[in-house]
Each structure stands twice: as C-alpha cells, then as structure tokens.
Amino acid sequence: MKHRYDFILLFDARDANPNGDPDAGNLPRVDAETGQGLVTDVCLKRKVRNFIQTTRQDQRIYFTEGSVHNRQHKEAYDVLQLDSKNVRQEQRDNAKDWMCQNFYDIRTFGAVMSTEVNCGQVRGPVQLSFARSIDPIVSSEHCITRTSVTNERDADKGRTMGRKFTIPYGLYRCHGFVNPFLAVQTGFTTEDLELLFTALENLFQFDQSAARPPGSMAVRSLLVFKHDNQLGKAPSHSLFDMVKVVKKEAVDLVRSFADYDLTIDEAAIPSGVSLSRRI
C-alpha cells in the first residue's frame, strides 16, 4: 500500500429504516439537537462484511452471526502449534499475523482478540465515520397487523398489532480513510482495497429486508481522493470540505437525490492528489 486514501460515500433511504436504534424501540437514529439522521459506522461495516461473505467465498469474515471467537483464535494456535497456556509475545504476534492473513475484516477494520485464547489487538487501516443526513429527517410510525399470533393465550384475538418505522427520505454522507502505514502492518493490499470499494458501491444490493425494501436504499456517489504517497498531500478535512451537497433552491421538500446539487471544487485539489468518482 503506497498511497493514502480519503473517500466520501453518499447514500439515500426512501420509505425505509436505514439504521434502527434498539434502545429507542428501533426508531431511526437521529441527532437530538439538529434532527439529522445518523447511521453508525458499525452498521456500515456490517454491510461490507455481509456483501463480501455473500459474494466472495475465498474471503473469510471474523465477525459473523453465531461465530465463537475463541474457537477462531484456537485455529490460529493449532496451525502454528502454540500452547495457549504458555505463549510468548513473539508467538502471540505470529497468531495475530495469521488472523490478519486469514480474515478479511480483521486486516481491514481491525479487531480486539485479547481474550482467553489471546491473539492480541489489531488496529485496522480502514475507518469509517458515522453517516449523517444532509437535512433533518422525519420518522414515520406505521401500525401493522398480522392474522396469526405467537402464544396460545392469544389465539382468540385473531390478530395482533405491531409497529414499524420509516423515514420518507434522507440523503446520508459518510467519510472514510485508508491508513497505508497500518495497511503494511495488517497485510491490507491494493486488492483488498478494490474489494472494499466494490462492497461500498454495492452496499445495499443484497441487504434487502422488510425495513429496507428493494430499491429503498441506494449508494448515490463514491468519491475517492488518492494521494501520491503514504503521508498524503492534504489533511482529510480539507479534502472533504471541497465537496458540497446542497438542496436545490427550487425544492421545498426533498424526496430524491435529484433534489440536491453535488459540487466539487476541483480547482482547489492540491498537487499530488487525484479524485476519482467511482459512482
């Protein structure tokens, strides 16, 4: 990895719940002060993992549903013939390197593996911010019914009631960063980077559900700043500030990506930095 990368991801949600908060009855996450919608970095990384697990059988994922991490760590110890009860720091580092080599999401996002079977900690080269909507969102509550029941005691009711939440529309912006120095440490390669960008481009393609019906969520733009060296030619924030997403003046109520203007101050991009618009 000989280059530093900064990138901007824009995606929208229409009549969907982009990221429900389990502590708030699964309401869409929102900034209480500004009313802007939020999607956590953990949610976005989960979708990257799911896409790669679904489409690439040659790539193993560490954080999967139902995985037992100590069992995964023990696999590294068994391959390297290590004793978990008597392991030196050098051997633990070898186990950490094995985990990075064999699990895509560890060498990409990092992981804390200092548990009972200790494989150390990995700081991932790829980090994502929370995604924040450009404008405030409105959460809509919908009452739903079903003609079946869960318990015998409710059999006479005939139907039960429930609720689901959606937002009419929201355009979200997320920032990302690729640290080439950490990439060297974890073994994150340019091939891994290309797979990451492919996953981001198709983030919601195989993520459909009742809360996110087909076509309700879509990636609208992926802008990648590539520096010509590892250190970089400009701070991340200054590059992000060159990209503006603003609601069109003639629009009162946004309901589509076409209601926004996306502008890039390309003249301000410093020498040694190139911008590619993948979407």
Written in H, E and C, the secondary structure of the chain is: CCCCEEEEEEEEECCECCCEEHHHCCEECECCCCCEEEECHHHHHHHHHHHHHHHCCCCCCCCCCCCCHHHHHHHHHHHHCCCCCCCCHHHHHHHHHHHHHHCHHHHHHEEEEECCCEEEEEECCEEECCEEEEEECCCEEEEEEECCCCCHHHHHHCCEEEEEEEECCEEEEEEEEECHHHHHHHCCCHHHHHHHHHHHHCCCCCCCCCCCCCCCEEEEEEEEEEECCCCCCCCHHHHHCCEEEEECCCCCCCCCHHHEEEEECHHHCCCCEEEEECC
Which residue has better confidence, 179 or 86?
179
**Tell me: the pLDDT tens digits for 65-85?**
999 999 999 999 999 999 888
**Tell me: the pLDDT tens digits for 102-142?**
999 999 999 999 999 999 999 999 999 999 999 999 999 99
Q: What is the pTM of this model?
A: 0.94
Whether residue 12 is predicted with pLDDT greater than 80 in this model: the reply is yes
Confidence of residue 151 (pLDDT cuts 50, 70, 90): confident
Confidence of residue 148 (pLDDT cuts 50, 70, 90): confident
What integer is the mean pLDDT of 183-197? 98
Percent of the chain with pLDDT over 90: 88
